[in-house]
Amino acid sequence: MHWFARWIWNETNGLSGRDVAEKNGKTYLDLKGYIKSATLEESKMRIKIGKIGGKEYVVTSDELNIILNVKKKRGEESKNPGEEYLVPDAYFSTLTDCIQYLVEAAVRASTASSLTKLAEDIAEIKKTIKEKLKGL
């Protein structure tokens, strides 16, 4: 059974004992054998990348993924106006894949009118990412 179908079935029919795991007092769902966390607060990594193509990115992680998040602010009508929060944009198995995605996002957002300018834009984003990842 596909993991999403299994999750829907478990949600509607109640979870069996083997589908729930406890870790540090928090409950995790077991989806096809993987223990996953659903909260960003438990992220092991938090790297602020900065703005690329009009979006402000933050890289976080969980037990299985490198997660590229977009930082957003709550609207004036929300319960906590102005509060910043993260929305997952993409999931990766390696940091290298995440970096490649960021470089490609910069290329798509570039306003370059020549290959030389595009190469400069790519070099700049690679430099920015390298600076953010120093010390890892």
Arithmetic mean of pLDDT over the chain: 75
Q: How confident is the model at residue 17 (pLDDT cuts 50, 70, 90)?
A: very low
Q: Name the token pair of 115.
A: 């290959």
pLDDT (mean) for 25-49 = 56
pLDDT (mean) for 71-76 = 90
pLDDT of 59: 92
pLDDT of 38: 45
Q: How confident is the model at residue 82 (pLDDT cuts 50, 70, 90)?
A: confident
pLDDT of 50: 86
Pairwise CA distance, residues 1 & 103, whole Å: 36
Give domain limits for the chain.
3-36, 44-133
- Using left for φ > 0, alpha for ψ between -120 and 50, and beta otherwise, residue 135 falls in left
Pairwise CA distance, residues 66 & 43, whole Å: 10
Q: How confident is the model at residue 88 (pLDDT cuts 50, 70, 90)?
A: very high
Q: How confident is the model at residue 79 (pLDDT cuts 50, 70, 90)?
A: confident
